[in-house]
Structure formats: structure tokens, C-alpha cells
Chain A
Amino acid sequence: MTEATPLWEVFIRPRNGLAHKHCGSLHAADEVLALNAARDVYTRRGEGVSIWVVPSAAITASDPDQAAENFEPTADKIYRHPTFYEIPEDVGHM
């Protein structure tokens, strides 16, 4: 089997004022080549003004099997939302 080149995740900032957003992955031997390849592959039509490349191996992801216990409890904590509180209309916008 051929030796694999490391995998990188690519994040692009579409324009200043917006956050970098994940747009895909690529293989490259190091960060310099990863940036070059990301420019060639993911910004051919003015998609961005800034690129981040991150080694995929550096990402720790939450376990999808634990999605229920991780994220479902927020659904019943309705008191975290502004609409939970009754303020008379006379008070005006709040």
C-alpha cells in the first residue's frame, strides 16, 4: 500500500466580517502545501479572502451516539428563552 499523506480540514472566510467556515478537506504533506492546495481547490471563484488549514487529526469530535444526552436536554429548558417571560405590553419593547 502507498503511504498516505496527512489529511487537512479547510476553513474559508468568505469576506471580512464573517467567520471562517468549514468547506472541505484535502491531503498535503505539510501546512505550506495544504494552504497552496486549499487556495487552488477551494477559492477558484472568489469564495474567500482568508484560509485556515487544520490537521484533521487535531480535531476532537463529539460522539454521535451521545447526541441525545448531549443536546436534547436543552429542548426542555424553555426558561432559557426570552419568550418564556410574560411582560405586559404596556412596558413596550424589551
Chain B
Amino acid sequence: MYSQGLIGADSTTEETPEFLARFQARIDAEEKIEPNDAMPEGYRRTLVRQIGQHAHSEIVGMLPEGNWITRAPSLKRKAALLAKVQDEGGHGLYLYAAAETLGVSREEMTEELHAGKAKYSSIFNYPTLSWADIGTIGWLVDGAAIMNQIPLCRCSFGPYARAMIRVCKEESFHQRQGYEIVMTLARGTPAQREMAQDALNRWWWPSLMMFGPHDADSEHSDQSMAWKIKRFSNDELRQKFIDATVPQAEFLGLSVPDEDLKWNEEKNGYDHGEIDWSEFWRVVKGGGQMNVDRIRDRKAAWDNGAWVREAARAHAAKRATRKQAAE
């Protein structure tokens, strides 16, 4: 609600040691930072990058699932998937709006995405090959997103935290509908069971990668923790996810594709095999199977929708003129 005044405005602050100390004291006292508050440029930049990436992920994430709306196996599944994909569009909108309070426009962020300058979650660069993938995405991908997003509800930046509270409320349906799809397949014919196992085999490791690199290799982590943008490290969240998810797979009678996965009584959690980080970086840098398609499809959606935006603006201008003439 502040962005109109902020877009393009001079938001530079003089970052004296006193100013930085005062800012950190506010953060340490768990005070929320609101858009018009003075903040270090690095804090603003980190948030613009992170919230922007998050927004792009919601929007790009509509593509792999949208792929299956017309092929959902029943009306019930179709209605649920449609509602889920619509939710993701809403999530993107809440997040773009939160980023805009920091002085960047949605159009600028969109242009950065299309130019390949802004990132989105690499998970969406994997293809959705079967209906089982839709169930598995809801269960694992939305499940991992929830793990990441719950601590973000307490993020120090007010608009981001508020957007996350709304998002988290809606996400739990996403995960449950996904798990129910996988459960139906797992209890179905041998062929359906095999579909469910195949999807788990393909999505397990990319889901673990959603939490980002190991803590030791994570570029922005320490500062983000100090600023309370982040509350848990990548590895901590990944561990939580594994501990929560493995029993869910067992319940379905599906096996997690990790030979080194083993319960560790001492740490009260699972030990797991090493993640293939070369694959992670390859996909992040654009080498995933679907990177090119996703940006092509987003650009097409933007370009093909241009006439609608233009017509709406022209219509609004016409109505405004007419109204003025009548006054």
C-alpha cells in the first residue's frame, strides 16, 4: 500500500554504524519492519530478490500442473487441480504486491524473469510426465514449500510475513490433495502403483534440492539469519522435511529412492545419501529439461495478454473522460 509513492523514489539511507546498530536492535527485539521504515540497502535488495524469486516460482509453478488440468482423471480431481493452480496464481500476486512495497514494480520483475535475470525455483524445470506426478508434486513439492514458508510467516519484513500467512493457510489443501492422489494410485492396480513409485523416484531428489545448497555453500544465509528474514538454515529445513516425509512414503508402501536412508536414533532423525549437487547447479544455471519451455511459455502468456491489458486501460481512460464530461 506504499509502493505507488516508492516506485522510482530515492530510498537511499545513510548507513552509519549507528543507523545499522539501531536497525539490528529493532530486528533483535522482534520488531517488524514496514515498507516506509528506513532500512539498509542490503536488506531491501535481499528482500526484493527473495520475494521476487518466490513470486516467480508461484507463477512458473502453474505451468507443470496446468499441463494436466484437461487430462485429470475425474471431475473431482479436475476441480481440485484447477483450484490449486488458481491458488498459486494468487500466491504470486500476494508476493509481487509485497515486493512492490520495496520500490520495485511488478512489470520490472516480470521483465527480469523473461530476460533470464531473475530466478525461480528449479523444481519447475522438471517435466510432469504422468498423472502420478501431479499427486507427487502436491505431496512433496508443496510439502517442501510449506516447510520453507512456515518460518517465513515470522519474517522480519511485515508485508512478506503477512503474505506468507495467507499462503500457508491455502497450501495445506495442496499437499493433502496431492497425497490423496498418490494414495489412490498406491492402492490401485499394479500399473497405477508403479506410476506412483516412478513419480516418487523422479521427484524425491529434486524436492530435497528445493531447500538450497548445504549451509556451508549457501551464499546469503548468515546475513539473512541475522536480519531474521530466514529463521532456519537450508539443512535444518531439509532434515525436517525428510523426517516428516519418509513415514508418509512408508504408509503408502512406496520406497524412497535413497539406499543410504536410515533412521538415526541418536539424532532422532534420518540420515540420507548425498545430493547430486552437480545436477542442482546445472538446472539452476538453465540446463534443466524444461528451463527453455517455461520462460517461453511465460513470455507467450505475457505477450498474448498484452492486448487485454491495453484494452482495459483504453476502456478505463474512455470511462474517465466520459465521467469528467458529465460532471
Contact = CB atoms under 8 A, between A and B. Distances in A.
Interface of A: 1-5, 7, 9, 22, 24-30, 33, 40-41, 44-45, 56-57, 59, 61, 63-65
B97 A1 contact: no
Interface residues of B, number: 35
Interface in B136-177: 162-163, 166, 170
B107 A65 contact: no
A41 B1 contact: no
B21 interface: no
A25 B90 CA distance: 11
Interface of B: 1-5, 7, 34, 36-38, 83, 86-87, 90, 93-94, 97, 100, 105-108, 110-111, 162-163, 166, 170, 309, 312-313, 315-316, 319-320
Which of B97, B108, B110, B111 counts the most chain A CB atoms within 10 A? B97
A44 B90 contact: yes
A30 B1 contact: no
A25 B1 contact: yes
Given A63-B36, A64-B37, A22 B1 contact: yes
B229 to A, nearest CB: 20
A30 B247 CA distance: 50
B97 A44 contact: no
A30 B4 contact: no
B316 A29 contact: yes
B153 to A, nearest CB: 15
A2 B4 CA distance: 16
A9 B170 CA distance: 21
Contacts of B4: 7, 56-57
Given A3-B313, A29-B315, A64-B34, A59 B108 contact: no
A51 to B, nearest CB: 15
Specify the main secondary structure of chain B where it touches its partner: helix
Contacts of A59: 1
A61 B90 CA distance: 26
User: Closest 5 interchain pairs by CB?
Assistant: A30-B316, A29-B312, A29-B316, A25-B97, A2-B107
A7 B313 contact: no
A30 B3 contact: no
B93 A64 contact: no
Given A5-B309, A29-B316, A56 B3 contact: yes
A27 B312 contact: no
Contacts of B5: 61
Contacts of B105: 4
A90 B258 CA distance: 75
Given A1-B108, A2-B111, A63-B36, A29 B100 contact: no
A40 B34 CA distance: 26
A21 to B, nearest CB: 12
Contacts of B87: 44
Given A9-B1, A24-B97, A30 B86 contact: no
17 contacts: A2-B107, A3-B313, A4-B7, A5-B312, A22-B1, A26-B97, A28-B312, A29-B316, A30-B320, A40-B90, A41-B90, A41-B94, A44-B87, A44-B90, A56-B1, A63-B36, A64-B37
B2 to A, nearest CB: 7
